[in-house]
Structure 1
Amino acid sequence: MTQDLPLLLCALHSFAFAAFHLAFWRLFGWKRELAKVGLATRAIVQILNLRLVYVFMGIGTACLLFPVELRGTALGRALLWFMVVFWIGRTIEQAMFLRLNHALVHALTVLFVLGAVLFALPLLST
């Protein structure tokens, strides 16, 4: 079980981000804010957000249901690397596009880096 702890933490991280993204409508007042943009932009933002929730839920579920496969197969390790690069990219994009000197922005950046570290841990122990 201790060998699966990193993947359990990856699952929890993924599920937490899925829940966070589901809260975007309320957190960011999307009903009001997205009414200010065109229909296509409004739809794209919401669709992309829901697809990201789907990805996070899928990755979290895979971490719980397939720990042996994630650690022990080329495809599993590729998926873990995919998530490492996903979180590194998200960290870089945070710096590029959300240039706010705000504690919550910095906290999110730390959580993105944490995601990269968490998904790298199972790769180090294989």
Structure 2
Amino acid sequence: MHLDVPLLLCAVHSFGFAAFHLAFWKLFGWKRELAKVGLPTRAITQILNLRLVYVFLGVGTACLLLPAELRGTTLGRGLLGFMVLFWVGRTVEQLVFLRVNHRLVHLLTGLFVLGAVLFALPLLG
């Protein structure tokens, strides 16, 4: 089996964001913070976060298990392009909605840009 390094890096990036999102409850004190909002907002926030974890795990797994399909089919290349646009959009949303001058926010923004670059690499070569 041939190791596809760019797709391996995409998988690591995706799995890292899955783990990061699983830590949101503790990192952001969601038990306390989400108790301040109504039930629909509390539920939607947690559900959307869990769905993102699911997407990141699925994309990461596809990068590891289906490298030939991702690189060699229209559907696979479409998924890679979708992920490029996902990370570009997430970067823009960060700049619009979280305009905070803090080094960790800047680091996170950099990781979003990195995601766009990593998922673009298999499309270029």
Structure-2-length-normalised TM-score: 0.98
Q: Distance in 2 between matches of 1:40 and 1:112?
A: 28
1:51-78 per-residue CA deviation (whole Å, 9 max, x = no partner) reads: 0000000000000000000000000000
Match of 1:64 in 2: 64
The amino acid that maps onto 1:14 is S
Match of 1:80 in 2: 80
Q: How does 1:104-123 map to 2 (within 5 A)?
A: 104-123=104-123
Match of 1:41 in 2: 41
1:99-122 per-residue CA deviation (whole Å, 9 max, x = no partner) reads: 100000000000000000000000
Q: Distance in 2 between matches of 1:109 and 1:34?
A: 24
Secondary structure of the 1:94 match is: helix
Q: How does 1:8-23 map to 2 (within 5 A)?
A: 8-23=8-23
Q: Distance in 1 between matches of 2:73 and 2:59?
A: 16
The yes-or-no answer on 1:7 pairing with 2:7 is yes
Match of 2:99 in 1: 99
The percentage of aligned residue pairs carrying the same residue is 80
The amino acid that maps onto 2:83 is M
The amino acid that maps onto 2:110 is V
1:21-64 per-residue CA deviation (whole Å, 9 max, x = no partner) reads: 00000000000000000000000000000000000000000000
5+ residue gaps, structure 1, are: none
Secondary structure of the 1:107 match is: helix
Q: Distance in 2 between matches of 1:45 and 1:62?
A: 26
5+ residue gaps, structure 2, are: none
